[in-house]
Structure 1
């Protein structure tokens, strides 16, 4: 496999590490030379891509790519990669066998704490999630036009080494916001890598929720992390009166439980199906620091 990951950030690097375990040659893009150099230190063939144009070096690489992962979020003007491909997918990537697009469970919107599946119609309430729905459809259309399977990975709240409740507690930035009956799903970043590899190896297409088994109140994660650290959790703060940024507050506007039954039924097994075992793993190994 020759894999290209557009937007090789936190999730993209986890995907890269997982593909490398299969002997894949992995390339990735970053927006700056400095970030590209950082990718190179991690045995990722790095290219600078800011969404404006493909470099000659990147065009040469694309001709050899067999698996493509798009992790760059769309803007108000759509997906920057799709704009450049412009129905030239087969011409630019003649060896391409599979595409993975990283989306979000935010496309489902608010369901009052009820369960949603891949069959649930999207009803996003935030602008960035609305853009995701349009981009999902555009990638599926692009794939059909080139005869290439496209898998949409709808991701829950991402956490893992370096980005977790332990880090926030250690920094003194953890907050225990209480909103009645609010639940969230989450996903350990290594499981994103595992799901991408699973779908890619089988050239599977369609929409898949990539999320843990147990949607739950966000404050419970903080309490469990504090218990493992042996520290006091931060005091409770009522959602209605808490001082929060508009962005942070907006996340609480969508309350739902997201099912991962479809990808499980396909045969994928999560390494970290719930936050308790995941936190215990990070704490016992020290990997929480990143």
Structure 2
């Protein structure tokens, strides 16, 4: 692996902080883009360098030292529309700046749309059915255009639901919010936050220009199975189950959008190309680790 001078993280939330800590442990410098003073101070306490800037204010991105850096783009698109103007601003800035060493982008498995329970690999066509997924497709396309125009290697990770410490739906379960009848629930995919961070590091190290990787664990099951497993691990009553007909009346449009799509992710490329061995390949091990990190006994 050719040496890069620094790691830069745009969108330095929980996953970004985990990735940054892993690179710090390897004695690489880590720089984050921060919009607010409070975020800047928190990141500096963790040992990160910080550049102040805002993806919604493109002029502020000129201060980013992109040359020969490994860049992670974790920032979400805006909440509305079918395009990602933040990614557009980043790509324009990057074309005008010194060449980054590589860009790794977290996208979503939702770009595949409804695959009717089929197993999908990274070569499957993209059929986004929601604006949320269309924004991610737009971001992917902008990055591919950037790579074609500049030669900057781009690696894309298509990520499903993330769970882990601080991410468990405990409150929803405590409130008794219903879930879809397990007999009607479509298959779903997920990944533990710790494993996702490790995958991001591996993608930075080993991912080649233009490669796309499906991300997911080996637990299988449906979203209802996931909620039941979380309830069991936390010692809570399992949520009530309702039919799809009733779900259309009672559940939020966002939740329904997940239930109206189904796919199973083929993650063989992730293991074969990046050499990933998951620490938490199944829900029991992942939930135990999440609760332990939260300071609770499973």
TM-score between both structures, scaled by the size of structure 1: 0.87
Aligned to 2:267: 260
Cα contact 1:89–1:146 (8 A) shared by 2? no
Aligned to 1:78: 84
1:147: Cα distance to partner? 1.8
Cα contact 1:213–1:259 (8 A) shared by 2? no
Cα contact 2:165–2:293 (8 A) shared by 1? no
**C-alpha separation between the residues in 2 aligned to 1:280 and 1:254?**
28
Indicate which of 128, 133, 153 corresponds to 2:132.
128
**C-alpha separation between the residues in 2 aligned to 1:67 and 1:29?**
14
Indicate which of 104, 116, 120 corresponds to 1:112.
116
Indicate which of 38, 41, 49 corresponds to 1:37.
41
The 1:150–1:50 alpha-carbon spacing in structure 2 relative to 1, beyond 3 Å, is closer
**C-alpha separation between the residues in 2 aligned to 1:35 and 1:237?**
41
The answer to whether residue 73 in structure 2 is matched with residue 66 in structure 1 is no
Indicate which of 254, 258, 266 corresponds to 1:251.
258
1:66-111 per-position Cα deviation (integer Å, ceiling 9, x unaligned): 111111233434342432542x5365134x2110011000000001
Cα contact 1:156–1:211 (8 A) shared by 2? yes
Q: Secondary structure at the match of 2:260?
A: coil
Q: Secondary structure at the match of 2:278?
A: coil
1:284: Cα distance to partner? 4.4
Q: Secondary structure at the match of 1:270?
A: coil
The 1:178–1:213 alpha-carbon spacing in structure 2 relative to 1, beyond 3 Å, is same
Indicate which of 162, 167, 176 corresponds to 2:179.
176
1:269: Cα distance to partner? 1.7
Q: Tell me, which stretches of 5 or more residues in structure 2 are unaligned? A: none
The 1:6–1:284 alpha-carbon spacing in structure 2 relative to 1, beyond 3 Å, is closer
4+ residue runs of structure 1 moved beyond 6 angstroms? none
The answer to whether residue 156 in structure 2 is matched with residue 152 in structure 1 is yes
Farther off after superposition, 77-86 or 8-17: 77-86
1:226-256 per-position Cα deviation (integer Å, ceiling 9, x unaligned): 3233332222233321312212211111111
Aligned to 2:206: 202
**C-alpha separation between the residues in 1 aligned to 2:206 and 2:76?**
25
1:181: Cα distance to partner? 4.2
Aligned to 1:282: 290
1:174: Cα distance to partner? 5.6
**C-alpha separation between the residues in 1 aligned to 2:175 and 2:185?**
26
Cα contact 2:77–2:85 (8 A) shared by 1? yes
The 1:250–1:147 alpha-carbon spacing in structure 2 relative to 1, beyond 3 Å, is same
Cα contact 2:189–2:216 (8 A) shared by 1? yes
1:197: Cα distance to partner? 0.7
Residues matched between the structures, number? 284
Indicate which of 277, 288, 297 corresponds to 1:269.
277
Aligned to 2:232: 227
1:196-241 per-position Cα deviation (integer Å, ceiling 9, x unaligned): 1111112523110111123311122222223233332222233321
The answer to whether residue 248 in structure 2 is matched with residue 240 in structure 1 is no
